[in-house]
Chain A
Amino acid sequence: AQSVTQLDSHVSVSEGTPVLLRCNYSSSYSPSLFWYVQHPNKGLQLLLKYTSAATLVKGINGFEAEFKKSETSFHLTKPSAHMSDAAEYFCVVGRSGGYNKLIFGAGTRLAVHP
């Protein structure tokens, strides 16, 4: 079985300060992990993915995440927040290969203040 827990439902930061969105996962299999972003009234956009290669994954728009197996975590970070980063972020776990479904966390709403 697989599950995802996003530890914060809301995160608020000032523009130019670091962003940390926390995610813990549970998986009976070697997981694939993703972060997706959803802007208001939009679909989901893939930020980055971990698929058992490098544990530090770099994504679009300056985001990165580190896979820590011992802590079952996959936290999303960005050194400096921009106003356009304000959105809903989803941590997602899947399984490599075959017919795969994605399990989404409940989401973290990121607010960025000037």
Chain B
Amino acid sequence: DAGVTQSPTHLIKTRGQQVTLRCSPKSGHDTVSWYQQALGQGPQFIFQYYEEEERQRGNFPDRFSGHQFPNYSSELNVNALLLGDSALYLCASSLVGRANYGYTFGSGTRLTVV
């Protein structure tokens, strides 16, 4: 049973560029959430997608956008990259209404902005 798959595992981008990160949820899950984990900190909620719509959003600027596809996979896009966007980006999947069962996290994408 495949868990959450994220790609790529590592990425280096230049300030001002745009980046797309990808996530495939655990089999049977229909909800995808994205988190940003800066070095030495706990993950911070970016947004959550269900039925191809953004359902909740954390305190992140509009430069952060996402998409969910009919097969439940998801993308996170970040425009106009800043040095401060360097972080580990984690994708988590769950079942809507069953989030108390726990989220399954991927291993993350390490983004470095130079």
Contact = CB atoms under 8 A, between A and B. Distances in A.
Interface residues of A, number: 25
16 contacts: A34-B102, A36-B105, A42-B107, A90-B43, A94-B99, A95-B100, A96-B100, A97-B99, A99-B48, A99-B55, A99-B99, A102-B35, A104-B35, A104-B42, A104-B43, A107-B40
A49 B100 contact: yes
Interface residues of B, number: 30
B107 A46 contact: no
Interface of B: 4, 31, 33, 35, 40-45, 48, 50, 55-56, 58, 90, 92, 94, 96-97, 99-108
B105 A106 contact: no
A100 interface: yes
